[in-house]
């Protein structure tokens, strides 16, 4: 039904339409712009945050648990360190671990999902059993148990472990996507045209799934962020890492932030950071959802 006009112009139009669609989705709900802005601010803090402050962070022995002021917008902690500085410098560990996790989950999940969906048969069965196992294994308890042998001092290590524990969702999603593409005769058609498996997967399957994978990746990043902050919060990991979770732990279990108000800013600052980052990512995912999923688009 489509008139063959040569590929390049079509792709160019498609791309232009895509960006126009992005623009429209963004404009329709300005909150989405805010989401993108928030995420960018956190990325900036992650990259440049530690450069903005001296290392180690200065302590002010005269101002332990100081109230918020111009010098310390979120007050100080039990040692007199500026809370805002802790949050800003802590961003790097949090984001780096999150990013590592995302890369690993996406890589593992996509490869396993594609293999299972593409080959079907015995491969599929084995890989999906593995995926089921990964999905049902209680991740957080396992992390706690692992923390007895592994201290996760580097964010990369943390990210790798979280990634190994979190690829199941993407694998299953990618598999069902490739199965549904298969059902539509997509792969058979490509095979009929004599295209190589590598070409089909790399050029045909992956691009149509990319948005899906990208969205799952963002969700994986948030999951990883929560998990690591949570582990540090529980206090099963050493306190020398600079992580929002350490702040939460010290304020709740050490500073009694839940029973007195003195340490409340110390508690609220990392909480606020988590909430803001979540908000940013949720808004971005919401926008992506509408860009890629026309079914949800309102008339």
Give me the residues that bind other proteins (CB under 8 A), please. 129, 132-133, 135-142, 144-149, 222, 226, 229-230, 233-236, 248, 252, 258-259, 261, 264, 267, 271, 274-275, 278-279, 281-282, 285-286, 295-296, 298-299
Is there a contact between 209 and 180 (Cβ–Cβ < 8 Å)? no
Nearer to other proteins, 60 or 289 (CB): 289
List CB contacts of 260: < 8 A, sequence separation 6 or more.
none
What does the alpha-carbon distance between residue 225 and residue 219 come to, in Å, rounded to a whole number?
A: 10
Nearer to other proteins, 73 or 138 (CB): 138
Is there a contact between 175 and 113 (Cβ–Cβ < 8 Å)? yes
Is there a contact between 161 and 143 (Cβ–Cβ < 8 Å)? yes
Nearer to other proteins, 103 or 144 (CB): 144
Q: How far is the CB of 51 from other proteins (least distance, A)?
A: 28
User: Quick count: other Cβ atoms within 10 Å of Cβ 59?
Assistant: 15
Nearer to other proteins, 53 or 254 (CB): 254
> Which pair of structure tokens corresponds to residue 242?
């600079």
Nearer to other proteins, 127 or 200 (CB): 127
Residue 257 backbone dihedrals phi, psi, to 5 degrees: -60, -20
Is there a contact between 87 and 151 (Cβ–Cβ < 8 Å)? no
């Amino acid at each position: 039904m489509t008139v063959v006009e040569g590929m390049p112009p079509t792709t160019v139009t498609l791309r232009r339409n895509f960006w126009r669609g992005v623009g429209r989705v963004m404009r329709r709900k300005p909150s989405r712009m805010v989401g993108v802005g928030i995420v960018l601010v956190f990325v900036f803090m992650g990259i440049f945050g530690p450069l903005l402050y001296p290392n180690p962070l200065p302590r002010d022995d005269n101002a332990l648990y100081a109230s918020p002021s111009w010098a310390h917008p979120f007050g100080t902690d039990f040692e007199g360190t500026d809370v805002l500085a802790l949050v800003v410098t802590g961003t790097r560990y949090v984001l780096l671990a999150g990013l590592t996790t995302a890369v690993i989950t996406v890589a593992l999940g996509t490869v396993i999902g594609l293999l299972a969906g593409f080959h079907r048969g015995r491969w599929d069965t084995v890989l999906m059993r593995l995926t089921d196992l990964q999905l049902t294994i209680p991740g957080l308890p396992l992390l706690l148990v692992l923390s007895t042998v592994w201290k996760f001092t580097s964010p990369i290590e943390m990210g790798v472990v979280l990634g190994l524990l979190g690829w199941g969702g993407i694998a299953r999603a990618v598999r069902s996507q490739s199965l549904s593409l298969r059902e539509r005769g997509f792969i058979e058609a490509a095979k009929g045209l004599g295209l190589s498996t590598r070409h089909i997967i790399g050029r045909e399957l992956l691009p149509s799934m990319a948005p899906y994978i990208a969205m799952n990746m963002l969700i994986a990043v948030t999951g990883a962020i929560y998990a690591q902050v949570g582990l540090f919060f529980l206090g099963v990991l050493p306190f020398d890492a600079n992580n929002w979770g350490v702040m939460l732990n010290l304020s709740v279990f050490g500073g009694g932030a839940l029973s007195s108000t003195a340490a409340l800013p110390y508690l609220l600052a990392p909480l606020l950071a988590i909430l803001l980052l979540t908000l940013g990512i949720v808004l971005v995912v919401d926008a992506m959802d509408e860009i890629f999923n026309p079914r949800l688009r309102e008339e």
